[in-house]
Every structure is written in structure tokens, then in C-alpha cells.
Amino acid sequence: MADMFNQFDDRLQRIEANRARLKRGYSLTVDRDGLIVARPRATKRSFHIKGIVLLVVGFLCFKALLIAYMGIGTYQDRVANLENGATTEQVGAWFMQADPVSLRVATELRKLIR
């Protein structure tokens, strides 16, 4: 008797889990026997790695463009001015520090410009 109750309880848990998934969206399909069945839609990731990578690459290219346009000395002077400012400016200065990737891209850009 207890075994039958455990099977029944497991089935109820599966049904409730399926209903919770169906609340987030479903699609109706027709099985081979003609029965219309609601299937949960696949959930989409809210965190897109491709977008984050493109954002970082774009930011590095932006820094490289600024370094190539202003020159490394002027660029570092402006970042030093930011370091002496308010907290938000200090955070910006940390992000805008010249890094090896940006410097390398900036030297290649300067070769193309000249």
C-alpha cells in the first residue's frame, strides 16, 4: 500500500513540475495518434556570452582608437586627471587604463593612419 502511495506522490510531483514549466510558455503539437499535447517551450538564456565578448572587444577597440588618435602621453595624462577626481571618475580611470591589447591595436592603427 505504501508503495502505491509513493508512486502516486511521484506522479503528482511530475505533473506539478510540468505545469510549472507550462506556465512559462508552451507550444501545442499533434501526436501521431491525433492527440493535441502542450509541450513547454525551451527557456532562453538571459546571459548572452557573445554579447559580452562583443562589448569587451568594442571597448578595447575604442580605447585603442583613443590612444592612436591622442598619443600615449596625452592619453595617460587624461587618465591621471580622472584618477584625481570623484569616485565615478576613479572607476572610469581604472577601466580606461592602457592595457597591452589596446596598446598593440593602437600601434597598428597608427601605422595604418600614417
- C-alpha 87 chain-centroid distance: 26
Q: Cα–Cα distance between 73 and 66 in angstroms, integer?
A: 12
What is the residue extent of each domain of the chain?
2-40, 49-113
Full-model pTM: 0.59
pLDDT tens-digit map of 79-103: 999 999 999 999 999 999 999 999 9
Q: Which residue blocks in 1-114 are alpha helix, DSSP H?
A: 2-23, 49-70, 72-83, 87-95, 100-113
pLDDT tens-digit map of 54-82: 999 999 999 999 999 999 999 999 999 99
